[in-house]
Amino acid sequence: MDPIGIIGGGLGGLAAACILGARGYKVVVWEKNDWLGGKAAELAADGFRFDMGPTILTVPRVLHRIFAEAGRSTADMLDLRRLDPQWRCFFQDGSVLDLLQDTVAMAARLRDYAPGSGNGYRDFIDMAARLHEVSEKFFFWRSVEDIGDTLDFSKNFDLATLRDVLSLRMGTTVAGQIRKRVDDKRVAQMLDHFVQYVGSSPYGSPAVLCGIAHMQTHDGVWYPMGGTRAVPVALEKLARELGVEFRTGIGVNRIVTAGGRVRGVETVDGRITPVAAVVSNMDSVRTYKELVGGSAEKSFSRRWKREPACSGVVLYLGLDRAYEHLAHHNFIFSRDPEEEFHAIYDRGEPAPDPTCYVAAPSRTDRGVAPPGGEALYVLVHTPYIRQRHDWARMLPAYRRIILDKMKRTGNMPDIEDRIVFEQVLTPQDIHDRYSVLNGAIYGLASHGRLFGAFKPGNRSRDLPGLYLAGGAAHPGPGMPMVLMSGWIAADSLDADMGAALRMADPVVPAPEHA
């Protein structure tokens, strides 16, 4: 039997490989880079170690489910440490606020910090819990592209379904729901940033994405010892144990089709490998444009005209002295969120006073820096690349804006004196390195009050035998969602292929972890 081909060894591709391997399929993964894990790469130099891409792990239940398919537990594969406070927030007025996992304790903290905000926060979390529940019921763990994939009104419409639909607050935005409940601008700005996991503006994103807040408070924020790089390392190890073949350093030229379906994969050296089906972990738009083409690409493009999500500038800073006032995860907030989001998402220009996300993992993992030192990961969201953007020219001035922000609002006045190692990733670097659309870190923007949460489905409607995984496919970006996308793509493929393409005896899935 021909193998299943997976294009791209990022988190979504690795998750799909593990699921398909566990279910008995022969799997070949092509990865153009010399490493596996996609954006979850590592930078190591001068005694410092940095996660280059995602740094926040939430909803570990997704990992539990993937490992359980092969009869393994997450504890067998990863050492996960719960982080609380989940974030430390620095505001323009000099105040500092920790985001706690315990929502009762957090509400009490807010009553002291911003009188009147505690009850509004509890109301927001209750709403987010309901949205999370509806997402689990209708949206997660299956291929979804539009509302027709979630609700069959002709068969299932009843009062319970009506309540679920009404709870979605369709036609309203994340920012609108937050500000209905919370008057304090600082607290509202903190809650806005849950939607930054999907690289979109809270002023343009549908209210259903408020559910992200409950996912985090319910399931926690975790750090895999060794960094988030440990996640793809564990997935690769499991995949190899399951017989998955990896071909790194080999780019894919096109997906070969015949008779209206996927038949093979052609690599850049001209070699064609017959395959039974393909899971593409490459950006969904670029998959169709660069690897498929023809009528399938035209059909896909007619449905998906949404803009890319944001990009970013990342500074990897090795310091000779630590900043003890930092938590593991920190947000140094902009002076004005409306100004910030308007610049990035409406004007398509870097924000004049941006929010800086700063990870200081040495709080949890001392091995990331030499003794007494600090390895800071600094991410500032920027617009996706436009033709007018030349980041080789723009970077020096914007680096200055970022460092000045960290000095003023983050209480790091001497940061430049402490830097002994520095490397930078620009939107252009991200575009070139990761095969994403216009440097967009998070795939397609989640904008649109009614249907902004939808992404291209994991089962292609345009080309039989093609399945999509990654942040530009359902259910979207962020580590748990990307991992889930790989599971859904593999599960959809398995459901379509049936027993005919299975190898010998599949691994019997173990019960899902609680």
pLDDT at 157 over 80: no
Three-state SS sequence of 187-216: HHHHHHHHHHHHCCCCCCCEHHHHHHHHHH
pLDDT(150) > 90? no
Structure tokens at 347: 């004007």
Percent above pLDDT 70 for the chain: 92
pLDDT tens profile 124-143: 999 999 988 888 888 888 99
Q: What is the pLDDT of residue 159?
A: 52
pLDDT for res 273: 97
Quick one: tokens of 506?
């599949």
What is the mean predicted confidence (pLDDT) over 285-294?
94
Q: Of 435, 425, 476, which Cα lies nearest the Cα of 53?
A: 425
Domain layout of the chain by residue ranges = 4-42+61-71+226-307+444-501, 102-221, 308-439
Average pLDDT over residues 85-91: 97
Span 265-286, average pLDDT: 96
In angstroms, what CA-CA distances link 339 with 185, 201, 353? Answer: 13, 11, 8
Dump the DSSP string for 110-143. HHHHSTTHHHHHHHHHHHHHHHHHHHHHHTTTS-
| Beta-sheet strands, E only, within 339-412 | 356-359, 374-382
What mean pLDDT is predicted for residues 473-496?
A: 95
Which pLDDT score is estimated for 168? 52
Of the listed ranges 83-87, 230-234, 298-302, 484-488, the one predicted with least confidence: 298-302
Give the C-alpha separation, 59 to 87, whole Å: 16
pLDDT at 277: 97
Burial of 396 (0-12, 13-18, 19+ CB in 10 A): exposed
Does residue 456 carry a pLDDT above 80? yes
| pLDDT value at residue 509 | 44
pLDDT of 313 higher than 80: yes
| Rounded (10°) angle between helices 117-138 and 211-219 | 90
- 3-class SS shares of the chain: helix, strand, coil, % to 5: 40, 20, 40
Q: Which of 40-49, 297-306, 443-452, 463-472 has the lowest mean pLDDT?
A: 443-452
Fold of the domain built from segment(s) 4-42+61-71+226-307+444-501:
FAD/NAD(P)-binding domain (3.50.50)
The reported pLDDT for the residue numbered 99 is 97
Across residues 31-43, what is the average pLDDT? 94
Residue 461 predicted with pLDDT over 50:
yes
Mean pLDDT of the chain: 91
pLDDT in tens, 324-361: 999 999 999 999 999 999 999 999 999 999 999 999 99
Q: Give the lowest-confidence range in 219-233, 363-377, 437-451.
A: 437-451
Average the pLDDT over 292-313 and give the result: 92
Q: Tokens 């988190």 identify what position?
A: 11
Q: How far apart are CA 131 and CA 178, in angstroms?
A: 14
Read off the pLDDT of residues 191-238 as tens digits, 9 standing for 90 and up.
999 988 888 899 999 888 999 999 999 999 999 999 999 999 999 999
Strands 245-248 and 27-31: parallel
The 10s digit of each residue's pLDDT in 163-175 is 545 445 556 899 9
Mean pLDDT of 238-242: 98
Q: 148: exposed, middle or buried (C-beta count within 10 Å: 0-12, 13-18, 19+)?
A: exposed
What residues contact 104, with CB distance under 8 A and at least 6 apart? none
For residue 405, what are the CA distances in angstroms to 86, 190, 345, 400, 424?
Answer: 22, 17, 20, 9, 17
Q: How confident is the model at residue 452 (pLDDT cuts 50, 70, 90)?
A: low
Q: What is the pLDDT of residue 430?
A: 94
Percent of the chain whose predicted confidence (pLDDT) is above 90? 80
CB 117 within 8 A of CB 257: no
Is 491 strand, coil or helix?
helix
The pTM assigned to this predicted structure is 0.91
The answer on pLDDT for 448 being more than 90 is no
